[in-house]
Structure 1
């Protein structure tokens, strides 16, 4: 046994060692502490009630702004279509030039690709006008000249990245103005305004059906690596809505049209509009952006509205030409 006067006494349970209370030459003093009360659980860490309802689904955009902008654009389009056809051609030219500006700007910002905008804008406008005046032949000639102008224009800068820049330029010329040319070629027919309305209406109805059905019933992803928000149920909704609208449009809007032709037209539009949307989603994922621009509140940029329209235009033009001709 240790008989030293400096030996510490055993500390009883619940006591604390108070070094400041020790007397010189004497043993340390033990101070009994009051029992500690458990800390209350913060409200943020409290378990949620099992009956709490799951959060509601919400749209990713400002729905009111999107509807307002959509109504405004629709008014401009319909007014220009049925008053003076040439005014609508001008609307298409403006949309093409703005779309090219958005696309080339994002390419340069995110990838350092300098697709020359000036020859693209001038050539794009020429393509749309040539398609309206001369048809497919004029559009192809304007496309070829635009590609040549892109190659020559880029020669005024250093040769580094020349191939990358001109390849992007030719792609932009085909993707935006050349595909938009088919809208101008639809307008050239005698019932051109009705054909353009059919094209626009079916594309919008397809997108609306996909959104409505997918938001309410969507469970199985369509292409999760490209566009996580799209579902197979939404695609079925797009097909059903577009086929119904197509049957009505072909029966009541298009001269010599038949309802069964509208079913086929609606099916084709639903597929092409979905692929067009996925195609631009692929481009935006590669660029690391959500939208191509911010010009249209609730929608993004012009290209974010043209994504499903551009690839659908040649499909509708071709099927209408096969069903009722081009005159």
Structure 2
């Protein structure tokens, strides 16, 4: 399993970086919509859809919704303050605060939504739609001045998340004794969380030193810490929904890694939260 994970990562990471820097905004948006549709397909399991046809339609409807929202933007203006974008990012902030409460109170909190398919679909929309707008708004940030400015920002957030995940895994294996959320994800520990934060802090320092992000160090630190914590929450939230659905992986599209949601669960929280803090709050 580890062998497949490493091989897949070595293939996917260069593809992701190439997509960030080489695709034009429209192409990047289309690729992100496809990723969101695949995520919606997998979310169908969390919502209780057993039929493949139902899940296909869920993915198609998600794609149409995102495309319609994107086409509703004025052609001459792509400001993050447009309601389609800012509204989605603010909703994301509210949703992840609510998700934190659901995770902390689990399994008791599941009584409110366990048997409600509409609620689980709403949770899916609140996860996937703001993720799309977070990706797009960061990619378009400063695009008129420098086509690669937003790509650097997105790469930064992704490295933060990947670093937190890797650091948490290594520190958890070496020092993990105290469970972080045993009822949701028994493998995660407080020691792993601290290790993930330290790894992300190192990445943030290196990136801020050698890449022209043009942001105040204090602002970058605050946004980075909150985004890293959000990434852990995204992982725990998906684990909670998988536990309720009785599945180990969200899918099997990526060899050795499970499904699309298994790979982007942390990013679905970190990207829109970072975008909201960086572009709307600061």
Q: TM-score under structure 1 normalisation?
A: 0.66
Give the distance between the partners of 2:48 and 2:22, measured in 1 at CA: 39
Change (3 A) 1:109 1:123: closer
Alignment correspondent of 1:250: 208
Give the distance between the partners of 2:181 and 2:88, measured in 1 at CA: 36
Structure showing greater Rg = 1
What SS is found at the alignment partner of 1:228? strand
Query: In the TM superposition, what is the alpha-carbon distance from 1:127 to its structure 2 partner?
Result: 4.2
Higher percent of residues as helix: 2
Q: How does 1:158-307 map to 2 (within 5 A)?
A: 164-190=116-142, 191-307=149-265
Give the distance between the partners of 2:121 and 2:62, measured in 1 at CA: 7
Q: Does 1:83 align with 2:41?
A: no
Structure 1, unpaired ranges of 5+: 1-61, 144-162
What SS is found at the alignment partner of 2:255? coil
CA contact (8 A) 1:195 1:254 kept: no
Give the distance between the partners of 1:80 and 1:172, measured in 2 at CA: 25
What SS is found at the alignment partner of 1:307? helix
CA contact (8 A) 2:250 2:259 kept: yes
Q: Does 1:124 align with 2:70?
A: no
Give the distance between the partners of 2:12 and 2:249, measured in 1 at CA: 19
Alignment correspondent of 2:84: 138
Query: In the TM superposition, what is the alpha-carbon distance from 1:138 to its structure 2 partner?
Result: 2.8
Give the distance between the partners of 2:72 and 2:135, measured in 1 at CA: 12
Change (3 A) 1:142 1:230: closer
**How large is the RMSD of aligned CA atoms in angstroms?**
2.9
Give the distance between the partners of 1:209 and 1:129, measured in 2 at CA: 40
Q: Does 1:68 align with 2:10?
A: no
Q: How does 1:95-106 map to 2 (within 5 A)?
A: 95-106=35-46
Change (3 A) 1:128 1:293: farther
Of residues 277-286 and 244-253 in structure 1, the stretch that sits farther from structure 2 once superposed is 244-253
Change (3 A) 1:320 1:298: same
Give the distance between the partners of 2:173 and 2:19, measured in 1 at CA: 34
Structure 2, unpaired ranges of 5+: 90-114, 143-148
CA contact (8 A) 1:65 1:297 kept: yes
Give the distance between the partners of 1:309 and 1:234, measured in 2 at CA: 18
Of residues 303-312 and 129-138 in structure 1, the stretch that sits farther from structure 2 once superposed is 129-138
